[in-house]
Amino acid sequence: MKIYLLGAANPETVRMIRAMQRSSPSLVFPGLLDNDPAKHGTKFYDLPVLGGVEAIPELAGPDVGFVSLITGSTRARYESGRAIVAAGGTLTNFIHPSVDLTCTRWGTGNYIQEAVITQAEVNVGDNCSIHIGALIAHETSIGNSVFIAHAVSVSGCCNIGDGTFIGTNATILPRIKIGKWATIGAGSVVIADIPDYAVAVGNPAKVIRLNEAIYGDGSVR
């Protein structure tokens, strides 16, 4: 299978590619995509930058998949995932081989880094990204276009809504529901449900404002 990755910015991408190829030698990564025209025709480490989303119709085909690596904002991640699909690309997963997928359920278009732990009966939607060392405990459900930063701890039986952004080292206590397009600040400890579009920070986390309600859900398909 050929996989094209959108986003030529993080050198960790190259290490992940090499780890995946050691685990699955049939995977081929011909190059990267990036929407910055200044990067087109250059190389990111040893990978050519082939263009932006406008290159997808020419690259798409049987046994070809695309993944967005954009993680700075869930809105940008959602929009990039939608752009891939609108251009005719088929989403696939980019999951580090260290992640145990046993007894879990996954959508597609997900970007999951090294040493992420997902326990039994975790359900992850489409177009999500979970960074290094995060823990997602048993029976937790994660929606579409969610970003979970490194070292986050999500306890068991939680529900994370579409488009939610959870910052570094945040802790979510058991059976918490976080609404869609919410933002949880770095280091926050969430002990109660968080409504849609809310920005919550602190220990315990408190809602300080609401995000603009631009999108209803985070589905890219």
Q: Is 147 helix (H, G, I), strand (E, B) or coil?
A: strand
- Decide if 180 is inside a domain: yes
Q: Please indicate, yes or no, whether residues 99 and 206 belong to a single structural domain of this protein.
A: yes
Q: Please indicate, yes or no, whether residues 101 and 206 belong to a single structural domain of this protein.
A: yes
pTM, to two decimals: 0.96
Q: Please indicate, yes or no, whether residues 85 and 143 belong to a single structural domain of this protein.
A: no
CA proximity to 219, closest of 73, 54, 85, 123: 85
Q: Please indicate, yes or no, whether residues 119 and 142 belong to a single structural domain of this protein.
A: yes
Q: Is 66 helix (H, G, I), strand (E, B) or coil?
A: strand
> Digits of tens for pLDDT over the chain (221 positions)?
999 999 999 999 999 999 999 999 999 999 999 999 999 999 999 999 999 999 999 999 999 999 999 998 999 999 999 999 999 999 999 999 999 999 999 999 999 999 999 999 999 999 999 999 999 999 999 999 999 999 999 999 999 999 999 999 999 999 999 999 999 999 999 999 999 999 999 999 999 999 999 999 999 98
Q: Is 3 helix (H, G, I), strand (E, B) or coil?
A: strand
The last residue of one of the domains, among 92, 112, 136, is 92
Query: What pLDDT, on a 0 to 100 scale, did the predictor assign at position 6?
Result: 98
CA proximity to 176, closest of 139, 210, 213: 139
The last residue of one of the domains, among 31, 59, 92, is 92
- Decide if 109 is inside a domain: yes
Phi-psi region of 115 (alpha: psi -120 to 50; beta: other; left: phi over 0): left
The count of domains in the chain is 2
The last residue of one of the domains, among 69, 92, 115, is 92
Catalytic center residues? 138
Total residues belonging to the chain: 221
Query: What pLDDT, on a 0 to 100 scale, did the predictor assign at position 166?
Result: 98
Q: 122 is in which domain, residue-wise?
A: 95-213
Query: What pLDDT, on a 0 to 100 scale, did the predictor assign at position 1?
Result: 96
